[in-house]
A and B are shown apart, each in its own frame.
Chain A
Amino acid sequence: MNLDRLLPNLGEWLRGIGPESDIVVSSRVRLARNLADMPFGNRANAEQKTETETRVRNAVTTANLPYALEFVDVAKLTPIDRQFLVERQLMSRELASVLDGPRGVAFNETESVSVMVNEEDHLRLQVMRSGLALDEAWTEIDRLDDALEANLAFAFHDQFGYLTACPTNVGTGMRASVMLHLPALSLTKEIEKLFRSLQKINLVVRGLYGEGSRASGDLYQISNQVTLGKSESRVLQEIREVIAQIIQYERRARQLLLKERRQAEQDRVARAIGTLGSATMITSEETMELLSTVRLGIQLHLLDDLPPTTVNQLFIHTQAAHLQKLMGTPLDGEERNAARAKYLRNRLRELGSHQR
């Protein structure tokens, strides 16, 4: 499969639509599942991993679903292609470059559904929705789980539920997360306090690219920690309640910004656009920070000639692997920063002339 054809698409999580999409970027539900008669990945030999891959691959590609899942052999991908799929949130960094041996990822045309094979668990199912749509994501992944179960016997225990390689995932095997854009709360430094209170109720906050990554571009993922003893619907309800509260705080902080320092914000947004459109070297970090400011500017109507989906496109296209694919050549760090700046200059000039 030539992954380049995905380049023009935004993927489900960056479509920029859906409920509360001024703050909620995307909702995601993941399920960990394991075959009943196979050792977990860390204890499986190459032969067993191959068998797991074959069985899951067959089940995934023949599953009775309203969409087709195309299987990609991760072991055969170039490092740039692997990174590309990580940036598109279709697979984890672990599957891309930490793990080795037979492994794969299957996903659908719209990139809303993906199944990783031979990650820490034999299967990691994922459903994405843009905006706040946890229920829809759950309904979809529940159906996917059933469809795969028709051909695969999953390890299930009467007391412990779905069995996983790590006891932190046992039970439902479910990790539900919501990605939020919280620039106003970050600006007013209220965010630290908020996150400390979340930890007390067993929710985890992470940066954009999952475990261990720090928040960049004011993007935060909030997810559940507990998988044993609470039903899926109860966990989703708990997350929904917290998210509703955070949305309220962020909206209030945004209104306060407008009321108390509108001129200063206007200036900050204009400078962000200015830098993005004129820099000759720019890192991915700085790009994400500036795009965060531009995104906030759009939401606050301080800037109205740029649609939010354009920000999403600039966001994904300036990630390392996307950039290298767009340029058609591998680039080292310095070269990337120059190529990124050039891409942003050209795109913003195009958009400017197109709009006027």
Chain B
Amino acid sequence: MKCQRCPKPATFHITEVFGHAKYRDFHLCEECAQRHLANPDASLKAAQTATPPLPDADLTDEFGGKHCPACGLKFVEFRNSGRLGCPRDYDVFKDELLPLLDNIHGDTKHAGKQPRLQPLRQANAAERERLRGELESAIRKEAYEEAARLRDRLRQLDDPAPGA
């Protein structure tokens, strides 16, 4: 397997958790992995939209219409009511929604405010997950000094300075 960020072979396989059961796998070479781990923020933008790909078979009912695996909405129901069922629908019905959005707004790409705290919160969640993994392996290896250091880092994350 190749590194996702450069042509070198991937030797690090990282799974990050972005709150609310959102996962993202990274396959990176050593150099890119270090850069990634040093700065988890950089990968967040990509991860925000990275809802896991869904198996096509699950999405098609007997009438050949797609439905959302999270809320069960079928596109025909949206057509009738004009209301979507859950946030996932924007990805599930993306192909159908794009021309509609273009029609309503004359555009298909958001150009305004972005959540200010959410990226930080997700970064913290990812970092916490990573540290917990390291802590477990440090404990398994009986590297107690290392474990203590990791535990301190985790405590810092749980109790961030206000406004940080």
Which residues of A are in contact with B by a Cβ distance under 8 Å? 34, 36-40, 42-43, 120, 142, 145-146, 149-150, 153-163, 165-168, 170-172, 174, 202, 226-232, 234
Shortest CB distance B150–A (Å): 26
Q: A43-B85, A165-B83 are in contact. Are A153 and B110 (CB under 8 A)?
A: no
Shortest CB distance B144–A (Å): 36
Give every chain A residue within 8 A of B108 (Cβ-Cβ).
Answer: 159-160, 228-229
A160 to B88, CA, bound (A): 12
A145 to B115, CA, bound (A): 9
Q: A39-B85, A39-B86, A229-B106 are in contact. Are A153 and B121 (CB under 8 A)?
A: yes
Q: Which of B34-42, B52-60, B97-105, B127-135 contacts A (4 or more CB under 8 A)?
A: B97-105
Q: Which of A39, A142, A150, A157 contacts B117 (CB 8 A)?
A: A150
Closest to B19 in A: A153
B residues 104-142 touching A (CB-CB < 8 Å): 104-118, 121
A234 to B110, CA, bound (A): 13
Can you list 24 pairs linking A and B with CB atoms under 8 Å apart?
Answer: A39-B70, A39-B86, A40-B87, A43-B83, A43-B86, A146-B116, A153-B19, A157-B49, A157-B90, A158-B48, A159-B110, A160-B90, A160-B110, A162-B110, A165-B83, A167-B84, A167-B100, A167-B104, A168-B104, A170-B90, A226-B105, A228-B101, A228-B107, A228-B111
Give every chain B residue within 8 A of A161 (Cβ-Cβ).
Answer: 110, 112-114
- In order of increasing CB-CB distance, the 3 nearest A-B pairs are A229-B107, A161-B110, A155-B87
Is the beta-carbon distance between B105 and A228 smaller than 8 angstroms? yes
Give every chain B residue within 8 A of A166 (Cβ-Cβ).
Answer: 82-84
Most buried by B among A34, A171, A231, A232: A171
SS class, residues of chain B in contact with chain A: loop
Which residues of B are in contact with A by a Cβ distance under 8 Å? 19-20, 45, 48-49, 70-73, 81-87, 90-91, 97, 100-101, 104-118, 121
Q: Which of A40, A155, A232 contacts B113 (CB 8 A)?
A: A232
Most buried by B among A149, A153, A229: A229
Q: A40-B85, A167-B100 are in contact. Are A229 and B111 (CB under 8 A)?
A: yes
Give every chain A residue within 8 A of B48 (Cβ-Cβ).
Answer: 156-158
Shortest CB distance A235–B (Å): 8
Give every chain A residue within 8 A of B82 (Cβ-Cβ).
Answer: 166
Is the beta-carbon distance between A227 and B115 smaller than 8 angstroms? no
Shortest CB distance B104–A (Å): 6
Give every chain B residue within 8 A of A40 (Cβ-Cβ).
Answer: 71, 83-87
Q: Which of B73, B97, B115 contacts A149 (CB 8 A)?
A: B115
Give every chain B residue within 8 A of A171 (Cβ-Cβ).
Answer: 105, 110-112
Give every chain B residue within 8 A of A157 (Cβ-Cβ).
Answer: 48-49, 87, 90-91, 110
Closest to A120 in B: B83
Q: A156-B48, A231-B111 are in contact. List 12 more A-B contacts (CB 8 A).
A: A40-B71, A43-B72, A149-B115, A155-B87, A157-B90, A160-B110, A168-B104, A170-B110, A171-B110, A226-B106, A228-B108, A230-B112
Q: Which of B86, B90, B117 contacts A38 (CB 8 A)?
A: B86
Give every chain A residue within 8 A of B19 (Cβ-Cβ).
Answer: 153
Give every chain A residue within 8 A of B97 (Cβ-Cβ).
Answer: 167
Give every chain A residue within 8 A of B45 (Cβ-Cβ).
Answer: 158
Is the beta-carbon distance between A142 and B110 smaller than 8 angstroms? no
Shortest CB distance A249–B (Å): 27
Give every chain B residue within 8 A of A231 (Cβ-Cβ).
Answer: 111-113
